[in-house]
Amino acid sequence: MKGVFVLNLMFSFLLLLYPSTSFPLCTNSEAPFTLKTALKFCSYNGSSCCNSTVDSQLQKQFQDMNISDPSCASVLQSVLCARCDPFSAQLFTIDTEPRTVPLLCNSTVSTNSSQSNQATNDFCSNVWDTCQNVSMLNSPFAPSLQGQAGAPANSNFTKLIDLWQSKTDFCNAFGGASTDESVCYDGEPVTLNETGTPSAPNGLCLEKIGNGSYLDMAAHPDGSNRAFFSNQQGKIWLATIPKVGSGGTLELDESNPFIDLTDEVHFDTAFGMMGIAFHPNFTQNGRFFASFNCNKGKSPGCTGRCSCNSDVNCDPSKLGTDNGAQPCQYQSVVAEYTTNGSATQPSSAENARPSEVRRIFTMGLPFTSQHGGQILFGPTDGYLYFMMGDGGGDGDPYNFAQNKKSVLGKIMRLDVDNIPSAAEINRLGLWGNYSIPKDNPYSEDGNLLPEIWAFGFRNPWRCSFDSERPSYFMCGDVGEDLYEEVDIISKGGNYGWRVYEGPYRFNPTSSPGGNTSANSINPIFPVMGYNHSEVNKKIGSASIIGGYFYRSNTDPCMYGRYLYADLYSGAIWAATEDPENSGNFSTSTIRFGCARDSPLQCSSVPGSDLPALGYIFSFGQDNSKDIYLLTSSGVYRVVPPSRCNYTCSRENATAVEAPSPRTSPLPSHSNKLTPINLLLSAFLLLLLCVA
């Protein structure tokens, strides 16, 4: 197998709701990029939010201020250049609206945070003392007084003392201390406290609660102890999840799925139902969505236009066949469905109609692999995110992932609540029934298709939003021959493929679609990952499975760590961010075992006490934030480490039980799960890639 980062309103809103988001991020909500040459005016090198053009603009703004005092000029230059800081999003966004200058460190501002010692520089007082009597044109400190009593009229040439009555007033407006929820500017580039790398957990303890083999899991939106499980063939089940430690197993009736879409889904090797997503208001509207593949030779509704078309300078007649398939014979689909329950009580529905309410998206695929397919609703914006691979072929030969007019190799962001008319859909050239969020990156980069949120992916497989910090949007991206990666996804970010495979330059074997120069892009490199050589010495293959930040109290020693895995080797990694909110991760493989009192017996790897998980297809998360592994051998849940005799010093100290999800109204069913047939497991094995 070839296994496979101006303010905008939405991001300001995100930071207001979830201010603890101090990983490197710029004021336009995009990730900082690596400078090829150091900035001349702002003196930043390495990682920055400013290119040479912005650097020149800041220099002109500074020169136009006409500051005669050298000491004040030096201070004001650093204040203006804070916009280039890799943490500028946190420096410039605070309280209820974007700031005109960064939050200036001020030790006199009261704070309850243990991090208040970061503000001892008292930079705000330094700015006042140095510049209070210095005249400047178009002062960046003036806009906040517009419309207020005492603001000078018809004058752009002012002193600080003209605008503010005292240092106290000035620093109340522009100063503040670093807290758990913000950082402040002390005249130097932002660095977060080094806390030391926390010791790795002793091990990950699992219990087996189901024998079925599933590809996706979604917690029930009603907050109960229920979840939906889907398989690749096209069925979705609604299951009741037993309480941790109860000895129970998944309660579902395999003969009675929530919905059966197998008549619509084309299932074969890398094809099938790729993902499910339930509307944030599902409990009121009963709407949910499925992402799957169809075969236009067998399904009348499989009618999307080909992704290889004149818009991207691609001629489908010149595409080579792949495993005997014709170009765009197979298509990626996102479709909307609804429950059969009462319109006022969709949460009580145990079944749904297999007939579509609406076809959201349909697109023909150039090859038979690497088409992603996961769908997720954003936890704060309510938009649907759709993960799409580069479409297949060795090394993305048509360079779709870097082509801004192609949706292949992209993460899309769609509004499925505001459906335009058919005429408007045709006019805009959309792929289906959705509208475009106004703050999508195309509003800042006119070369991008309006659907695109981020690009430069080979095959994003399993993405998640951190439940505590939704701005941490994590995606595993399957590599080609060398490297598997995890990325923090940011608006408009270019993640490098096929110019780069992870952090390495990639040299394609064929390029009928042309090449993209490395010098023409600012790629966002992965925050974690692994080389194929780390896992494929025996199995010959590697394919990453993106996971979740662990946010349950069930295993307190795992809390806050990001878990991800490899499909073939079964290896699991735990990544620790240090310092917290920095975007810097250290990773290590973590041993795992099966609880001695597991409800279902775990098969063991021959010659070892390790559980034989088989192939890890996906991770899941329930409403209690417990984490699940969906594998070819069954469903596993992370449980307290002591059940595997792993030591966790925090386990007893944090034994206070988290609130349980609401009791399910779903009647209990006998556990009728049976192991999936070996042939189907073999199909699932080839899900992400081609031999």
Instruction: Determine the average pLDDT of the residues in 87-116.
Output: 68
266 and 131, same domain (yes or no): no
141 and 282, same domain (yes or no): no
Residue 289 placed within a domain: yes
- 313-328 pLDDT tens trace: 999 888 876 666 788 9
Query: Which tokens hold the place of 522?
Result: 């600012």
Residue 161, H or E segment: helix 160-163
Domain-terminating residue out of 115, 150, 176: 176
Cα separation, 605 vs 646, in Å, equals: 19
**pLDDT score for 633:** 96
286 and 419, same domain (yes or no): yes
Instruction: Determine the average pLDDT of the residues in 38-58.
Output: 89
Query: Which of the residue ranges 168-177, 253-262, 571-580 would you say has the lowest mean pLDDT?
Result: 168-177
Task: Using alpha carbons only, give the angle 11, 16, 19 rounded to the nearest 5 degrees.
Answer: 95
Cα separation, 324 vs 334, in Å, equals: 25
Output the average pLDDT for the chain: 85
Residue 375, strand partner residues: 386
**pLDDT score for 406:** 98
Domain-terminating residue out of 127, 161, 176: 176
pLDDT band for position 38 (cuts 50, 70, 90): confident
**pLDDT score for 610:** 79
273 and 400, same domain (yes or no): yes
Query: Which of the residue ranges 5-9, 77-81, 473-477, 681-685 would you say has the lowest mean pLDDT?
Result: 5-9
What one-character DSSP code corresponds to residue 523?
Answer: P
Phi-psi region of 43 (alpha: psi -120 to 50; beta: other; left: phi over 0): left
Residue 124 placed within a domain: yes
**pLDDT score for 325:** 73
**pLDDT score for 197:** 52
141 and 270, same domain (yes or no): no
Could you give the percent of the chain with pLDDT greater than 90?
64
265 and 401, same domain (yes or no): yes
Query: Which of the residue ranges 104-113, 392-401, 557-566 would you say has the lowest mean pLDDT?
Result: 104-113
Instruction: Determine the average pLDDT of the residues in 184-201.
Output: 72
Tokens 């946010």 -> residue:
551
Residue 375 clears pLDDT 80, i.e. is over it: yes
**pLDDT score for 666:** 40
Query: Which of the residue ranges 15-29, 316-330, 351-365, 653-667 would you say has the lowest mean pLDDT?
Result: 653-667
**pLDDT score for 109:** 53
Query: Which of the residue ranges 345-354, 378-387, 427-436 would you say has the lowest mean pLDDT?
Result: 345-354
Residue 389 placed within a domain: yes
- 121-179 pLDDT tens trace: 689 999 999 999 999 998 888 755 443 433 444 456 789 998 888 999 899 888 888 76
pLDDT band for position 668 (cuts 50, 70, 90): very low
**pLDDT score for 3:** 41
pLDDT band for position 43 (cuts 50, 70, 90): confident
Residue 669 clears pLDDT 70, i.e. is over it: no
**pLDDT score for 657:** 44
Instruction: Determine the average pLDDT of the residues in 67-72.
Output: 94
**pLDDT score for 580:** 86
pTM: 0.85
Domain-terminating residue out of 424, 458, 492: 458
Would you call 580 exposed, middle or buried from its count of C-beta atoms within 10 A (0-12, 13-18, 19+)?
middle
307 and 439, same domain (yes or no): yes
Q: How many domains does the chain have?
A: 2
Residue 672 clears pLDDT 60, i.e. is over it: no
Instruction: Determine the average pLDDT of the residues in 489-507.
Output: 97
Contacts of 411 (CB under 8 A, 6+ apart): 385, 386, 387, 388, 452, 453, 454, 455, 457, 460, 463, 475, 489
Residue 601 clears pLDDT 80, i.e. is over it: yes
**pLDDT score for 23:** 80
What one-character DSSP code corresponds to residue 318?
Answer: G
**pLDDT score for 300:** 86
- 330-370 pLDDT tens trace: 999 999 999 976 556 888 899 998 999 999 999 999 999 99
**pLDDT score for 590:** 95
Query: Which of the residue ranges 91-100, 297-306, 638-647 would you say has the lowest mean pLDDT?
Result: 91-100
Among 660, 613, 662, 608, smallest CA distance to 633 is for 613
Contact 238, 337 (CB under 8 A): no
**pLDDT score for 24:** 83
- 512-538 pLDDT tens trace: 989 999 999 999 999 999 999 888 766
**pLDDT score for 347:** 87
Residue 480 clears pLDDT 90, i.e. is over it: yes
293 and 164, same domain (yes or no): no
287 and 150, same domain (yes or no): no
Instruction: Determine the average pLDDT of the residues in 475-503.
Output: 97
Tokens 């996706």 -> residue:
216
Residue 288 placed within a domain: yes
Longest dimension (CA), the chain: 84
Residue 408 clears pLDDT 50, i.e. is over it: yes
Range of the domain at 118: 9-176
Residue 428, H or E segment: helix 422-428
Find the Cα–Cα–Cα–Cα dihedral 63, 65, 67, 71, rounded to 10°.
-80
Residue 74 placed within a domain: yes
Residue 142 placed within a domain: yes
pLDDT band for position 373 (cuts 50, 70, 90): very high
Residue 679 placed within a domain: no
Residue 111 clears pLDDT 90, i.e. is over it: no
265 and 147, same domain (yes or no): no
Residue 395 clears pLDDT 50, i.e. is over it: yes
Could you give the percent of the chain with pLDDT greater than 70?
83
**pLDDT score for 577:** 94
**pLDDT score for 198:** 56
- 282-293 pLDDT tens trace: 999 999 999 999
**pLDDT score for 303:** 92
Residue 277 placed within a domain: yes
Instruction: Determine the average pLDDT of the residues in 582-610.
Output: 91
129 and 277, same domain (yes or no): no
CATH code of the domain covering residue 340: 2.120.10.30
